[in-house]
Structure 1
Amino acid sequence: MISRRAVLAGAGLLTPAIAFAANPAMTVHKTAACGCCGGWITLMRRAGYQPNVVVVEDLGPLHERYRIPVELSSCHLATIGGYVTVGHVPAGDIARLLKERPKALGLTVPGMPLGSPGMEMPDGRKEAYDTLLLLPGGKTRVFAKHA
């Protein structure tokens, strides 16, 4: 049986926050000094996620715990729906991950590409970047391309 909410969301008649209301809990780990993380968290809220923010002194132990290689790390790490996201991953990529449920650890946007969510520039500059799917064993593959 299809719920009324599912029908309305499918027809585009609900706001994104209501359409995403069923998203699992998101926990974001960040350092106190990180300013761009706040921008990303704000965008996640606007997309309908409800991030619980945990301030840590060092993300290194979390990167180790979730087996994130240094070259794929970034300034914050979130967990959601049994996955990990690292860095400025777009909300749409997270929604796709949760919908498709691939056998993976999660997603990463290594570094801090200009124009990625939370890294918007006042002059509109953007860098092309990829969202990578973190696979078991330290491998990756491109999950989404962003121009």
Structure 2
Amino acid sequence: MIAALAAAPSFLAAPAPALVTVYKSPTCGCCKAWVRHMQENGFAVEAHDVNDVTPYKKRYGVRSELASCHTAVIGGYVFEGHVPAEDIKRFLNERPASRGLAVPGMPQGSPGMEGPRAEPYNVLSLDADGIVQVYANH
């Protein structure tokens, strides 16, 4: 009994999974696949099906050249498109002075866009001044 009580504080201190709020089209299959990818990697996901994702992209400062089919928000950061969960986890752990990450377009082989062929793609970081830099290569 004492051993169980001693273990309780560490159990209670376990962090809750980060909540991912996703804005996506109700008919987009790759968005649904990306949501599944995030859930399979330990994220809690709240998906909002919207007819037009553009207002959400504008609200979170996603420029048109960085846009993809869905926009996600985690803890005040924006994640545009098919960003791999491993990059999001690293980003959230580092907590950089950045607005978020983006994978422009819909590159084959990215999470949610799996298939017989994969193409190389970059994950870009978006800083508060609008400067875009490569965060990861895949």
* TM-score bin (small chain): 0.7 to 0.9
Once the two structures are superposed, the pairs formed by residues 52-131 of structure 1 within 5 Å of their partners are 52-121=46-115, 123=116, 125-131=117-123
Contact 1:68/1:138 (<8 A) preserved? no
Q: Using the alignment, how far apart are the partners of 1:4 and 1:103 within structure 2?
A: 30
Residue deviations 1:15-71 (CA, integer Å, cap 9, x gap): xxxx9x633211111011211001101110100001000011111111111111101
Give the alignment's Cα RMSD to 1 decimal: 1.5
Query: What is the TM-score when the length of structure 1 is the normalising length?
Result: 0.82
CA distance in 2, matches of 1:49, 1:99: 14
- Residue among 19, 22, 30 paired with 1:36: 30
After TM superposition, the score normalised by the length of structure 2 is: 0.87
Matched residues, number: 128
Amino acid across the alignment from 1:110: P
Q: Name structure 2 gaps, 5 residues minimum.
A: 1-8
Q: Which residue of 1 aligns with 2:125?
A: 133
Q: Distance in 2 between matches of 1:34 and 1:139?
A: 29
Measured in 1, the distance between the counterparts of 2:17 and 2:39 equals 11
Percent of residue pairs identical: 48
Residue identity opposite 1:67 in structure 2:
G
Gaps of 5+ in 1: 6-18
